[in-house]
Amino acid sequence: IAGITQAPTSQILAAGRRMTLRCTQDMRHNAMYWYRQDLGLGLRLIHYSNTAGTTGKGEVPDGYSVSRANTDDFPLTLASAVPSQTSVYFCASSDSGEDTDTQYFGPGTRLTVL
């Protein structure tokens, strides 16, 4: 693989179910991020990780959890999905050692919670 990948591409989920969105990067970037993107609201940060073993809360963390066991993987878990979590989810990574901290985004996961 090259770059950053996400799985699944799309998912329809019943409310109350647990779901994990997967994100993997092969660029050895230190930092990784999860965003949700909703029409009219732009990209909103859910959780982030500056380096393996550490995570932090973003703007809209409630209902979501993350882990960063290694450099490459940054899964996002919805413990009990609700319809308001219907959104497009983007994972991103950046090399926090660079001056620019340019983020590279995965292709996104389109999640529908019914």
Partner 1 sequence: GQNIDQPTEMTATEGAIVQINCTYQTSGFNGLFWYQQHAGEAPTFLSYNVLDGLEEKGRFSSFLSRSKGYSYLLLKELQMKDSASYLCAVNPGSYIPTFGRGTSLIVHP
Question: Cα(102)–Cα(13) distance, rounded to whole angstroms?
Answer: 32
**One of 46, 87, 108, 113 touching partner 1 (CB under 8 A):** 108
Contact flag: residue 103 with partner 1 (CB under 8 A):
yes
Contact flag: residue 1 with partner 1 (CB under 8 A):
no
Contact flag: residue 105 with partner 1 (CB under 8 A):
yes
Q: Which is nearer to partner 1, 40 or 62 (CB)?
A: 40
Binding window for partner 1 (CB under 8 A); candidates: 11-19, 20-28, 32-40, 67-75: 32-40
Residues that contact partner 1, how many (by CB under 8 A): 25
Under 8 Å CB-to-CB from 25, ≥6 apart: which residues? Answer: 3, 4, 5, 32, 72, 74, 91, 93, 104, 106
Handedness of CA 102, 107, 14, 87 (dihedral sign): positive
